[in-house]
Amino acid sequence: MGKSQKRKGYRVERKLVQMFISEGITARRQPMSGAIVGFPHDLVVDILGGSSVEAKARANGEGFKTIQRWKGSAEILILVEDRQLPTVVLDWKYFIHLVKGGMDETENKNQKIKKKIRSKGFARTKNKIPSINKT
């Protein structure tokens, strides 16, 4: 990796740490950005007791444009590869909203959705045994 790529990586990681800190979330860069065996990723963020973060940056968005197109205006994009756990893609603002406790607001939204589903006549079938008519 060349000097300019290392500088860009450092600059992006530093910016991300500042973004987390400005949101009130403790974050720090890993020493040598993943080059040391005991520190495999770029950042450590105080989410769920300490989460490792890998950052990728592209000047022209190469590799990101398809993801953005798939996501469109949705809040969440879930990528599923056969026999693998799904990968979740979120916008920064939505991610921060969830991390900082936006779950209360999300719960209210879910209640409205549940009411809407019930009013449309969708029945929950989990754990129900279908009745068999014997005539």
pLDDT tens string 13-48: 999 999 999 999 999 998 776 667 667 788 989 888
Q: Would strands 43-45 and 76-79 be described as parallel, antiparallel, or unpaired?
A: unpaired
Residue 129 located in a structural domain: no
Instruction: Residue 42: name the closest of 79, 11, 2, 75 by CA.
Output: 11
What is the number of structural domains in the chain?
2
What is the distance of C-alpha 118 from the center of its chain?
29
In a shared domain, residues 69 and 18: no
pTM: 0.66
Buried b (16+ CB within 10 A) or exposed e, 18-29: eebeeeeeebeb
In a shared domain, residues 82 and 98: yes
Domain end marker among 40, 57, 74: 57
pLDDT in tens, 81-104: 999 999 999 999 999 999 988 545
Statement: residue 106 has pLDDT above 60: no
